[in-house]
Amino acid sequence: MSPTCRRRTASPNVAGKTTGIAAGRRRVGVLALQGDVREHAQVLTSLGAEVSLVRRPEELAAVDGLVIPGGESSVIDKLARAFGMQEPLRDAIAGGLPVYGTCAGLILLADRITDAISGQQSFGGLDVTVRRNAFGSQVDSFETDLEVPVLGAPPVHAVFIRAPVVETVGAAVEPLAALPDGRVVAVRQGNLLGTSFHPEVTGEYRFHRLFLESVRG
């Protein structure tokens, strides 16, 4: 269990869960190098997707979409390089593979990282600047409700655990949600989706449904 981006798992709320999505029965992967892999796999399976755990390039090549989970972004970066996954991931993202990143996953999708550790790299694809640990340490984790117009009502109950924040967005990036102070915490650019928070641990499945729609499309 990662201490950086993990929390309780709640029962799905009625608005969030819709079974039988199936994503056209296409196979989606969860990058399984580190982080809350199991939680994402459970959500995707409950929505009808065929789910594979991805650790190697040949496993990445076999999926139609990928989730990069929360965890420790610098550790996932190092392991991706050790497993020979960095360049295949970059190529797949550049080639249009639908990818959803939560917390550390958002950091890894960002083109630019502020407060990265020495030598830290990302996979890139999202034309954003993301600040690591923007809200402080583990004890500064918090929960709040967010209005997300693309998802409709009710508001999204969001859990932030040593979370990043999006500081700048490029012209092609669509901000999907922001805190009351205006800081952006969810974005979309083409087939790429990123959230600073963890829908997979609160029973909020609508972001995963949005991701599966891009996989089907």
Query: DSSP letter at 51?
Result: E
- Confidence category of residue 23, pLDDT binned at 50, 70, 90: very low
Cβ atoms within 10 Å, residue 132: 20
Provide the strand spans (E) within the chain: 27-31, 50-54, 65-68, 99-102, 110-114, 126-131, 142-146, 156-160, 165-169, 174-178, 184-189, 192-195
Q: Is 103 a catalytic residue?
A: yes
How far is it, in rounded angstroms, from Cα 48 to Cα 56? 24
Specify the pLDDT at position 3: 42
Tokens representing residue 32 in the block: 């399984």
Stretch (H or E) spanning 58: helix 57-60
Q: Which range is least confidently modeled, 24-33, 66-75, 85-94, 180-189?
A: 24-33
Give the bridge partners for 174, in sequence order: 188
Of 39, 72, 103, 204, which residue is the catalytic one?
103
CA Rg, the chain, in Å?
Answer: 15
Specify the pLDDT at position 54: 98
Of 39, 40, 72, 198, which residue is the catalytic one?
198
* Report for 25-29, 73-77, 131-135: range of highest mean pLDDT: 73-77
Specify the pLDDT at position 25: 58
> Is 6 strand, coil or helix?
coil
Of 5, 200, 204, 208, which residue is the catalytic one?
200
Specify the pLDDT at position 140: 66
Q: Is the peptide bond before 154 cis (omega within 30 degrees of 0)?
A: yes
Task: Specify whether the CB–CB gap between 141 and 159 falls below 8 A.
Answer: yes
Mean local confidence (pLDDT), 86-112: 98
- Confidence category of residue 16, pLDDT binned at 50, 70, 90: very low
Phi and psi for 192 in degrees, rounded to 5?
-105, 135
pLDDT tens column, 147-189: 999 999 999 999 998 899 999 999 999 999 999 999 999 999 9
Tokens representing residue 149 in the block: 């117009």
Please give the share of the chain, as a percent, with pLDDT higher than 70. Answer: 86
Specify the pLDDT at position 14: 32
Q: Is 157 a catalytic residue?
A: no
